[in-house]
Chain A
């Protein structure tokens, strides 16, 4: 079965330190990979995506993610965390094959950046 795993319910990091939010997936074909962020009482906002090309993808607000095909991972990273980065982060995968319209979302990781 196709799935996405975010193994950490919550990640705590001190402001100014690097952060990593983990995502692994199990889908067939060449997947399209996404990260979204959700602030309280808001909808999801797109951060970045990988479809093809360079394995290191840069996105909004200084975030980046690295696609690792052998480890089937797509971890979200930021070199220096801000308190304002505190939010709920979702990894999502689309199988990427023709005719597949569905996205599979992880259960989310709550990031807390401590001042």
Chain B
């Protein structure tokens, strides 16, 4: 099993550009999450999904959109990137009321 994978690993954008981050898991987990990690702030939840076709807002959803068309994939979109979205983005999944499994992260820089 590959676990949770994220594509791409690194990306540099200019202000106003758009992009999509892909998260894939092969563990048949129902729940998937997108977080951003910034120095001194821990992990902040952007959006999450409790199953295929469902999404919900987390703590910091503004400027991001998500889709979960297939159970194994959870996409995070930035429609118009801003420097404040420079961060490391982590995807996670979990099967039920247990621990989350994290991907390796995507380091995004917005100039």
Contacts and interface: CB of A to CB of B under 8 A. Distances in A.
Given A42-B104, A45-B102, A107-B41, A102 B97 contact: no
A106 B105 contact: no
Contact of A32 (B97, B101, B104): B97
Interface in A23-42: 32, 34, 36, 41-42
A101, A105, A108 — most chain B CB neighbours (10 Å): A101
Interface string A34-59: 10100001111110010100000000
Given A44-B90, A51-B97, A96-B97, A105 B42 contact: yes
A42 B105 contact: yes
Interface string A89-101: 0101010100001
Interface residues of B, number: 25
A51 B83 CA distance: 39
B99 A49 contact: yes
Contact of B102 (A32, A44, A51): A44
Contacts, number: 52
A92 B44 CA distance: 11
Contact of B42 (A43, A90, A94): A90
B interface, over-half SS: strand
Contacts of B50: 101
Nearest to B41: A107
Interface in B74-111: 90, 92, 97-105
A25 B56 CA distance: 24
B60 interface: no
Interface of A: 9, 32, 34, 36, 41-46, 49, 51, 90, 92, 94, 96, 101-103, 105-108
